[in-house]
Amino acid sequence: MNLEMPLMIFGDMIHVTFYLDVAAAILVLGVLVLCSRGIIRDAVEAKLFRLLLLAVFVLAVSEALNYAGLFADIPAALSMLLQTVNELMLSAALIMWLVYVEYRLYRSRDDLKRRVVKRLIPMFIVVGLELINPFTGILFTVNMSLVVYGTIVQGLCEVVRLVYIISSSVRVVKEKKARRDLKFFAIAEFILPVIAAYLLTGIWPYSMVPLGFAVGLTCIYAGIINETSFQDQETGYYNRFYLPSLKKEITEGSYRLKSGMIFRLGREEDTEAFSKLLNPILPKKCIMIRFDRKTFVMLAEINERVAFHMMKEDARDAIQEHNSKNDDPDIQVAIDMIMKREGTPAAFYDKLFQRVKRS
């Protein structure tokens, strides 16, 4: 009896962990399939997110196989290989998480290249240790297919991983407070399941880390879908469904609307070409809304006339250049500016969109 109890618990642990890992793998695979449908417009972000999902998927599968192997009485060498893959994938998932966060925050390839390598050095060291572990046992050993942890170095590696998760999440939270463009980044929904998974793994005999990541990434993806519902698929600008939420921000005072610029296209067919011309000349701080098939509205928190004149001139120049180089019918655009002189930003918003609707 005394001998059977631990074995029962051990067998239970294997089963539960196996099923949790399979659930995590299925969940991540589902998100991966959905992701490949091109919902994320930014190609770099889409690629990084897919790689992150892939790393978590392999992590879940390798861990499931490792636990399944315990029943099949696999050789210790194979168990070591699966465990090493498992550890490497956990590190890969964290590396991809950091890279994804860096890119999502600033959407800049150059900033990513400049910043990320230095930040990844501790994780590269962890990966190096994981690679040499099968020959040195510096992190863990395998005894009769069972993984035996317990070295100080392994503990340090876990600390590095946790620091990665927490520090990158803290950065997102800080940035989110200051930037409205990050409001759909569901960082709390990511960090809670991941941290809960780490804590539960510490107190329960089941490994829940892949499931924690899978749930967290599903929440991130849900945030992306939410954001996409407010985006015009053709141009990437906000669509008119975003307006109620924007009006709420303006009324609450978190967006201080002071001016707007209305672009009215002559033909619907020019939408895509027009947005391509506009993108390179658009200031980063403005909000661009595709109001209807032919109307675009640019909003800003400034009311300096020269800034809008520059914008108007640049738009005209870009269109003129496009028209002179293409045989297609000319793009015709009417541009209208409106500035807040008095009253509240909310009243100005109403006035601006009344003018947009009248056109």
Partner 1 sequence: MPDIQELCEDNLETFDPYLGKDLAEDMRREFFRGYGMQGEDGTPTGVMVWELLNSEKDDEEVKSRIRYLQAESGDSLDFMQERYQEEGVSEEEIKESFYWLEDEKSASSCEKAGFSKERKESECITLSLSDASKIPFFAKLKKIPDFICSLETLTPIQYRLAVKNCLFNEKKGLLEDLGYLQKDFFDTTVSACTITDDEASGLFLIRARASGILEPVLLTASGPDFQKHLAMMIAYAIKKGAEKYPPETVIRISRSRKETAALVKKLLPGLKGEDLFFGNRTEKQ
Interface contacts to partner 1, rule CB under 8 A: 102, 105-106, 108-111, 114-115, 258, 280-281, 283-286, 300-307, 309-311, 314, 339-342
Min CB(56)–partner 1 separation in Å: 25
Give me the phi and psi of 84, to 5 degrees please: -65, -45
Q: List the Cα angle 207/208/210 in 5-degree steps.
A: 110
Residue among 205 and 343 whose Cβ is closer to partner 1? 343
Nearer to partner 1, 257 or 356 (CB): 257
**272-275 contacts, C-beta under 8 A, 24 or more apart:** 272/234, 272/235, 273/322, 273/328, 273/331, 274/319, 274/331, 274/333, 275/234, 275/235, 275/236, 275/237
Residue 296 CB, nearest approach to partner 1 (Å) = 17
Residue with tokens 């299925």: 26
Residue whose CB is less far from partner 1, 109 or 293: 109
Q: Which is nearer to partner 1, 248 or 305 (CB)?
A: 305
- The angle, 0 to 180 degrees and rounded to 10, between the axes of the packed helices 76-106 and 152-178 is 20
Contact predicate 142/79, CB 8 Å: yes
User: Of 113 and 293, which has the nearer Cβ to partner 1?
Assistant: 113
Angstrom CA distances, 269 to 29, 176, 184, 291, 321, stand at 38, 37, 31, 15, 18
Nearer to partner 1, 25 or 99 (CB): 99
Residue among 29 and 116 whose Cβ is closer to partner 1: 116
Q: How far is the CB of 250 from partner 1 (least distance, A)?
A: 15
Closest to partner 1 by CB, 115 vs 247, is: 115
For the CB of residue 171, give the shortest distance to partner 1 in the complex, in Å: 9
Query: 305 or 357, CB closer to partner 1?
Result: 305
Shortest approach of partner 1 to residue 30 CB, angstroms?
A: 33
Q: Dihedral through CA 248, CA 224, CA 98, CA 109, nearest 10?
A: -90
Q: Kindly state the tokens that stand for 54.
A: 């892939």
For residues 174 and 248, which CB has a smaller minimum distance to partner 1 in the complex?
174
- Tell me the C-alpha distance between 117 and 123, whole Å: 10
Distance in Å, CB of 234 to partner 1, minimum? 23
Cα end-to-end span (Å), the chain: 84
- As measured in angstroms, the least distance from the Cβ of 227 to partner 1 is 21
Query: CB 59 → partner 1: shortest distance, Å?
Result: 28
Contact criterion met (CB below 8 Å) for 202 and 239: no
Alpha-carbon distance 211 to 10, whole Å? Answer: 20
Q: What is d(CA 38, CA 257) in angstroms, rounded to the nearest whole number?
A: 32
In whole angstroms, the minimum distance from the beta carbon of 151 to partner 1 comes to 35
The tally of CA atoms less than 13 A away on the side-chain side of residue 295 is 15
Query: CB of 8: closest distance to partner 1 in angstroms?
Result: 52
**Which of 5, 213, 176 is CA-nearest to residue 97?**
213
